[in-house]
Structures are given as structure tokens and as C-alpha cells.
Amino acid sequence: MTSKNILIVGVGNIGKRHLEALLNSKHSLNIHLVDPVLSTNNKLLINQSNFDYKKKKIFFYKTLNTVPAKIFLTILSTTANYRIKIIKHLIKNNNVKYWIIEKPLCQSLKDLRYIEETFCKRNSWVNLPYDSNNFLLSLKKTIKKNKLGNLLVTGKNWGLACNSIHYLQLFTNYFQSPKLTHTKIQLKHWYKTRRKGIYDVHGKIELHFNNNYSCTFIDNYEENSKEKIKKNCMIFYSKNKKLIINEGEKTTSFGKTKKQKISLPRVSRDIIIVLDSLIKKSTCALPLVSSCTTNQRLLLNIFIDSWNHIKKNKNKNVPIS
């Protein structure tokens, strides 16, 4: 079988985990890594990994200019501020069959419109594995049967601006894209992350939908000491019932049942499943780009407004990733 060209653009923490998974894939692959600062750690990872050197060939680049013209799968794992420039370059100069894009998709509504127009007819997915995780999808019947139409995501420093799209996408999947009726936004503090030029935010977002559904995100937020911050939890609830998914402990409990160990998404495992599916079925279980843009637009509007309000700016983009 001819080796397939896999392109990973951005070999930071997430890109490195994609690489680890691909090295353990059973398929013959030419893996092309593009990053202006390819770290020694990434090369050490390859040297120390136990993989079939006959089936895997690794190529390093600092720019996109010399990558192969024909790409089976491109994984965009850069920070969001570089993404549009990279997409435009690859569309102009390369033939990419499949795309996987990290979240959040972009930093502005203008860029989101470009992504919508560009990928509406392309084979492209967003790396939101909660939306396709077998365990989380298996809860859908329990959640709907018990009318647990409210979701609370709470914890400390879990990256509200970066990661809330995971939970909103899962929530709207469970309830067939309910109609938003109103919001309550209390974002308090924007702070620098470890990635250069990238920020995240502490605070609280309440999204209210028809049928009395609601989705609430809390990160490091306290209001008159009434909010009890639990560590990295998803809680689906009604007035008298509660299903708790503790992501830190990887456990779940419902009512009086004992905690049970669960399997949550993991990049190093899930990308192998995605690749297998693309090769065998020409599709995968991740959500299509076109199915994520409504939720991305909602959150982008919230974060842009908050950033401008707190920073006293009138920017059309927000430095999240």
C-alpha cells in the first residue's frame, strides 16, 4: 500500500500528541511536521518512540513552501491566530483531501465567515472529540429520559475561552440545537496563558435556551461565596436529579449510584480512530466544520465583547486559542 502523506502544522503540545498517535498507527505514513521552531523534544520523542521505521517516515519543515503537493490529511494544530493564513496557503498551493482543525476555529467573525465559505463543501472536521466519544454519547438516552436539560461545567483554570466550545457542542448535540433565548455574561479577568500572545478568561457564562434548557460555564468564579467550585466537572441536572461527570477523576455518578470509572477523549488514542475511519470510510465521527460554526459564532461574540469591554478597545478579534 502506498504511504499516505499526513501534514501536521504546529507541533506544540497538541500537535505532539497527534504525532505520538500517528507513530503508533498500523498504516504506512509519511508524516510531515511544520513548525518554525521545531523543538529538540519533538525529535527526541521520535527517536525514543517504538514504531515501525519501515512504515513511518518523518520529515521536518520550518515553512509550508516545500511540503508535498498532495496531502491525504492535514491537521491544523497551530494557535488560532495563524490558522487563516495557513489555510489560504494550502488551498492555493496544495491538494488536501481531508482536514482536521483544532478549536477554537479562529479569533474573529470575519475569519469565521471565511472558514464557513471555504469548508462548506470540503471534507473538514473540528477536533471536538467530546461530540463523538462513545461514553458521552451513551449518556444521551439517560439525560433525555430524566429531563436533565441543564449543563453546568465548573472548575478552576480549565480554559473557559479555549475549551467551552467542547461542552457547548456536546450540549447542542444532545438536545438537537435548541434555540438560544438569552444570556447572562459575567467575565471578570482576562489573563495571559503560557502561549505567546494568547489569553483566556475567568468568570461565568449562562446560556439559556427554549424548553428551559441551560448551559453554564464557570471558571474561578465566586459570587458572594455562593458558587461552589468543583474541580473539572460536567453536571447535567434538573430540579431533583443530577448526573456528575468528574473529568479530573474520570468518574461518573447518577443519583445514589456509586462512582464508576469512565473513558474520556484522549488525542493520542482518538486520532488513530479518526485516521482509520478516513482511510476505510472517507469520513469520521468528529463534528464537521459546518456543524460547529453556529456555536463558535455565539462564543466568539461573547469573548470579543468582553475583551473590548475590559480592555476598553474596539477590536474585531480576541486573542484566544
- CA–CA dist 11, 79 (Å, integer): 10
Residue 215 has pLDDT above 70, yes or no: yes
Per the prediction, the chain carries an average pLDDT of 90
pLDDT (0 to 100) of residue 228: 53
Length reported for the chain: 321
Q: How, if at all, do strands 242-246 and 70-76 pair?
A: unpaired
Residue 44 has pLDDT above 60, yes or no: no
pLDDT (0 to 100) of residue 269: 73
Kindly state the average pLDDT of the residues 63-68: 95
Phi, psi at residue 279, to the nearest 5°? Answer: -70, -40
Between 259 and 226, the higher pLDDT residue: 259
pLDDT (0 to 100) of residue 80: 96
Contact indicator for 18, 45 with CB cutoff of 8 Å:
no
Between 82 and 49, the higher pLDDT residue: 82
- CA–CA dist 93, 238 (Å, integer): 52
193 pLDDT band, cuts 50/70/90, is very high
Kindly state the average pLDDT of the residues 243-270: 85
Residue 242 has pLDDT above 90, yes or no: yes
Stretch among 192-196, 198-202, 222-226, 240-244 having the lowest mean pLDDT: 222-226
54 pLDDT band, cuts 50/70/90, is confident
Residue 224 has pLDDT above 60, yes or no: no
Q: What is the pTM of this model?
A: 0.92
Q: How, if at all, do strands 29-34 and 4-9 pair?
A: parallel
Residue 71 has pLDDT above 80, yes or no: yes
- The full set of domain ranges for the chain reads 4-127+268-287, 134-264
Residues 96, 31, 106, 167, CA torsion sign = positive
pLDDT (0 to 100) of residue 42: 58
In CATH terms, the fold of domain 134-264 is Dihydrodipicolinate Reductase; domain 2 (3.30.360)
Contact indicator for 64, 83 with CB cutoff of 8 Å:
no
- CA–CA dist 107, 88 (Å, integer): 16
Instruction: Looking at mean pLDDT, say which of 21-25, 263-267, 287-291 comes out highest.
Output: 287-291
Kindly state the average pLDDT of the residues 178-194: 95
37 pLDDT band, cuts 50/70/90, is confident
Q: What is the CATH number of domain 4-127+268-287?
A: 3.40.50.720
Kindly state the average pLDDT of the residues 279-289: 94
225 pLDDT band, cuts 50/70/90, is very low
Angle at 72 between CA 66 and CA 74, to 5 degrees: 65
221 pLDDT band, cuts 50/70/90, is low
229 pLDDT band, cuts 50/70/90, is low
pLDDT (0 to 100) of residue 49: 64
pLDDT (0 to 100) of residue 198: 97
Kindly state the average pLDDT of the residues 114-124: 91
Asked whether this chain's domains 4-127+268-287 and 134-264 adopt the same fold, the reply is no
pLDDT (0 to 100) of residue 264: 81
pLDDT (0 to 100) of residue 24: 87
